[in-house]
Amino acid sequence: MSAAHPTSTSASAERFPDADPEKHQVVFDDSEDKSSNVSYEFDTPEDRELLRKVDKRLLPVLTLLYLLSFLDRSNVGNAKIDGLTKDINVSPPAYNTSLALYFIAYVTFEIPANIILKRFDPQFWLPFLTLIWGIVSIFQGFVTDQASLFGVRYRRDTVLGAAESGLFPGVVFLFSVYYRRSERHWRVAVFFGGAALAGAFGGVLAYVIGKMDGIGGKRGWAWIFIIEGLMTVVISLFAFFWVPTWSYKAQFLTTDERARLQARLAADSDAAGKETFSWVYVRQALTDPSVWGYALLFHGFSFVLYSLSLFMPTIIADLGFATWKAQLMTVPPNALAALGIWFGAWAAARTKLRAPWIIAAGGVAIIGYIIMASTEKAGPQYVGVHLASLGVYTGNALLLSWPSENISGQTKRAVAVAMQITIGDCGAITGLLIYRPEFAAHHFRKPHIIAIGYIFLGIASASALWYWMARENRRRAEIIASGKDEVDSKTRLDLGDRDVHWKYQV
């Protein structure tokens, strides 16, 4: 075995002081992957059983938390067509501004939230964030005029945006310390499917809760905020006992299972054990061009994700449908989006490709927006909504797990994932301000055209990342083949994804 293929341990023990070196023995072999000279023999029946056990513990609770998160941030769109803006005399421009307040706080706190997660424990941190946003969400049901709406949303969204900002990047990072790189993306897709399910579930729930109009002297839209906020609070209390901690000390696994999980991770990336925090790794993320590429990719897709999810009830109601029918008509597009997410994850896993499917999803979304921008008939418009939802949600589900698979170094990865969401969600702020009254003519034709431009930005970013990573993989394979890759194990760990043996997932 050459020096370029260390068995494991001195460097790992140095960088992961809480890990047991005896549980991180990794055997390298030249028989399977000629580009990286590494063989991952971790797909035995026992491994699959271990993954099923991890899936049962992580996926249901974390997907539920994200469903609640997306429900609490998007229910204002349902409340609007149920009478929110009319009852408290909120002008259309003021309504758009109130939506943007949430995302200002959201993008501000994402990187700090993941740094806090890295230094503390997800078992407490993620349910705590859920509890906080559930409490503050309830108060929006008590606004009485435009001033109180702005007051509540400014205070609520500063807290709500800060709280919700830590969930998605935190969960994606948590996945990275339980699953190998090739196993993460469809788990992230299942998790992100909670957003589409929130849209479908939210439409039905808003219709049912709207029937409470007048109970307790409150309008139906007020009860939407109150009931859904209470749901979040109750579920967050159970989550304190359900959300797992770091993989190396997970109590729901036996000692042997934890050892096997750490060995699987050590053979695949740096995810085994507990990395000592250092600001050096934060700086590495901030200065890596590929991290900015992932952020720009999400920026393009985020514009359409949030503008579509928040304005879908309004877009459908604008086609001439009654409020109750518009609420229910948001269900089919969101249900189709959920199916698209899971198909896209399956297809990416089968082909071992990510970029082509992101680009294809963007193409489907563009077709949907072209239909919406080129016709004023209700039928074609509704078909366009379906295609836009399918492409937008599928593309987002695939791209959001990409950095966690291609960036090595736990702290660097945590910051990079948060950066992608932070910079990406600036596109959401733009989208919410673009879908405003003066652009509402012809069923929001101008905003739809602008949305097409943003999707093209996302497609261009995915194409550039695909080209660069494929070329870099070839370059690194040539270096390995030439025998010029002789570096010690500590240097390889310090290099992270810059090591020539690190193969990008394209």
DSSP 289-332: HHHHHHHHHHHHHHHHHHHHHHHHHHHHHTTT--HHHHHHHTHH
Distances (CA, A) of 144 to 89, 140, 157, 158, 323: 9, 10, 17, 20, 21
Q: Quickly state the pLDDT bin for 341 (edges 50, 70, 90).
A: very high
Q: What is the CATH number of the domain that holds 96?
A: 1.20.1250.20
pLDDT at 343 over 90: yes
Q: Which residues of 395-408 are buried (b: 16+ CB within 10 A; e: fewer)?
A: bbbbbbbbbbbbbb
In a domain, 130, yes or no: yes
Choose among 210, 405, 421: nearest CA to 301: 421
Count of Cβ atoms closer than 10 Å to residue 270 Cβ: 24
pLDDT at 469 over 90: yes
In a domain, 405, yes or no: yes
The string of pLDDT tens digits covering residues 192-212 is 887 788 778 888 888 889 889
In a domain, 416, yes or no: yes
Angle 281-160-107 from CA coordinates, rounded to 5°: 40
Count of Cβ atoms closer than 10 Å to residue 383 Cβ: 17
What is the distance between the alpha carbons of residues 467 and 171, in angstroms, rounded to a whole number?
28
Burial class (CB in 10 A: 0-12, 13-18, 19+), 13: middle
Q: Could you tell me the end-to-end alpha-carbon distance of the chain, in angstroms, rounded to an integer?
A: 28
Distances (CA, A) of 495 to 64, 281, 448: 36, 11, 43
What is the distance between the alpha carbons of residues 290 and 92, in angstroms, rounded to a whole number?
39
In a domain, 38, yes or no: no
Q: Which residues of 329-353 are buried (b: 16+ CB within 10 A; e: fewer)?
A: bbbebbbbbbebbbebbebbeeeee
pLDDT at 6: 34
- Sign, Cα dihedral of 197, 203, 204, 208: positive
What is the distance between the alpha carbons of residues 115 and 279, in angstroms, rounded to a whole number?
10
Mean pLDDT of the chain: 82
What is the distance between the alpha carbons of residues 437 and 428, in angstroms, rounded to a whole number?
17
- This prediction has a pTM of 0.76
Mean pLDDT in residue range 229-235: 94
What is the distance between the alpha carbons of residues 376 and 403, in angstroms, rounded to a whole number?
39
- Residue for token pair 């890990």: 19
In a domain, 483, yes or no: yes
pLDDT at 160: 64
In a domain, 425, yes or no: yes
- Rounded to the nearest 10°, the torsion over CA 126, 131, 137, 139 is -150
What is the distance between the alpha carbons of residues 29 and 455, in angstroms, rounded to a whole number?
42
In a domain, 220, yes or no: yes
The string of pLDDT tens digits covering residues 137-184 is 888 888 777 677 666 655 655 666 667 678 888 888 899 889 988 888
Choose among 243, 229, 217, 467: nearest CA to 355: 467
What is the distance between the alpha carbons of residues 197 and 204, in angstroms, rounded to a whole number?
11
Q: Structural domain tally of the chain?
A: 1
Domain that residue 85 falls in: 45-496
What is the distance between the alpha carbons of residues 54 and 52, in angstroms, rounded to a whole number?
5
In a domain, 29, yes or no: no
pLDDT at 275: 62
The string of pLDDT tens digits covering residues 71-92 is 887 788 888 878 888 888 877 7
The string of pLDDT tens digits covering residues 6-30 is 333 333 333 333 334 333 333 333 3
pLDDT at 23: 37
pLDDT at 150: 65
Cβ atoms 310, 74 nearer than 8 A? yes
